[in-house]
Amino acid sequence: MPTLTRGRYGKDNVRVYKVHRNADGTQTVAEFTVSVMLEGDISTSYTAADNSIVVPTDTMKQTCFIIAKQHNVLPSELYAASLAQHFIDTYPHIHVATTNVIQHRWTRMTVDGKPHPHSFHRDGADLKIVEAVASREAASVSIKSSIKDLLVLKSTGSAFHGFHTDEFTILKPTWDRILSTSVDAAWRWTPFKTVAEVEANAAVFDRAYEAVREITMATFAKEESPSVQNTMYKMCEQILEREAGVKAVEYQLPNKHYFEKDLSWHKGTKNTGADAEVYEPQTDPNGLIQCTVER
Ligand code: AZA
């Protein structure tokens, strides 16, 4: 007899925007794409068509708006946690609620040398993403904050040599290469007992986000990188040192290759080694380097 071993369901891609009208006349905006997934005593909805226990996914979508209206949505850790905890508090048969809040960048414009009170621009494709998991059994909210798709490139200051070689190796060691990657970095917080505790840490979440961006870019730029592996480990070390509430850091870095082009076929043009100026960016395949570093 078949057995339902796992079932969870929810609403994905809920678009939410909120404006905050500040006392000084300026406005602050936030735009999110949200997902909610619920787990609990819901197996008979799958096996016996019992819809009485199904909180409709449309109700989850409406909840995204109501919680956004009732609570601060910034930092997004607070919105994700408030939303997840709502489902645990409201529905006794729901035991785990997972929310994923993707925050789209809206950075205040500088106009005539001054921050504009209500105009914003997208100054990068990178996203801040927060996952919150509210658990009835653990009586806690676990939060993972992250940055995704932060595209960076350095034109020198990166090497890769001394690697293992065998009869399958054709890669040449290099002491000077282009390094480019799209940064996915995540940092897991020591779980919080309540949403109130999350709210009390609001400033810490913002500070950590800025610290991760700053550490990632400064380390990438300043370090003479011997490998992606070592450079990402150094980023993790610094984040753990800087933020006491962070228990683990994860990085995923694709190594976006730029290949030298031999142009000697054209009138003996020198374009390799120290003469290399024109390269061919590769879309695929790419190296993919991942790590998790815990306290
Ligand atoms: N790490 C690097 O930084 N560069 C590489 C690798 C690697 O594992 N493999 N090829 N090139």
Q: Is the CB of 253 under 6 A from ligand 1?
A: no
Tell me how far the alpha carbon of residue 256 lies from the centroid of ligand 1, in angstroms: 10
Model confidence at 1: pLDDT above 90: no
The first and second tokens of residue 136, run together, are 């009835």
pLDDT at residue 242 in the model: 98
Can you tell me the distance from the alpha carbon of 42 to that of 65, in angstroms, rounded to the nearest whole number?
24
246 Cβ contact partners less than 8 Å away, ≥ 6 residues apart: 187, 188, 189, 190, 208, 239, 240, 295
Tell me how far the alpha carbon of residue 211 lies from the centroid of ligand 1, in angstroms: 26
Can you tell me the distance from the alpha carbon of 158 to that of 152, in angstroms, rounded to the nearest whole number?
13
> Is 61 among the catalytic positions?
no
Q: Is the CB of 85 under 6 A from ligand 1?
A: no
The mean pLDDT of 185-206, rounded to a whole number, is: 98
Tell me how far the alpha carbon of residue 176 lies from the centroid of ligand 1, in angstroms: 13
pTM attached to this predicted model: 0.95
Which pLDDT band, with edges at 50, 70 and 90, does 266 fall under? very high
Tell me how far the alpha carbon of residue 153 lies from the centroid of ligand 1, in angstroms: 15
Q: Is the CB of 229 under 6 A from ligand 1?
A: yes
pLDDT at residue 116 in the model: 98
The mean pLDDT of 267-291, rounded to a whole number, is: 97
Q: Name the percent of the chain lying above pLDDT 70.
A: 100
User: How buried is residue 87: exposed, middle or buried, by Cβ count under 10 Å (0-12/13-18/19+)?
Assistant: buried
pLDDT tens, 233-253? Answer: 999 999 999 999 999 999 999
Q: Where are the beta strands (DSSP E) in 155-256?
A: 179-189, 246-255
The mean pLDDT of 153-166, rounded to a whole number, is: 98
* CA gyration radius, the chain: 24
Report the largest interatomic distance among the alpha carbons of the chain, rounded to a whole angstrom: 78
Atom of ligand 1 nearest to the CA of 226: 3
Q: Whose CA is nearest to atom 10 of ligand 1?
A: 287
Model confidence at 150: pLDDT above 90: yes
The first and second tokens of residue 230, run together, are 């070592």
Model confidence at 132: pLDDT above 90: yes
Q: Where are the beta strands (DSSP E) in the chain?
A: 9-21, 27-40, 94-104, 107-111, 114-121, 127-135, 140-154, 179-189, 246-255, 258-260, 279-281, 287-294
Can you tell me the distance from the alpha carbon of 127 to that of 182, in angstroms, rounded to the nearest whole number?
11
Total Cβ atoms within 10 A of residue 28: 16
Query: Residue 114 in 3-state DSSP?
Result: strand
Q: Is the CB of 255 under 6 A from ligand 1?
A: yes
pLDDT at residue 102 in the model: 98
Average pLDDT of the chain to the nearest whole number: 98
The mean pLDDT of 32-51, rounded to a whole number, is: 98
The first and second tokens of residue 282, run together, are 């590769």
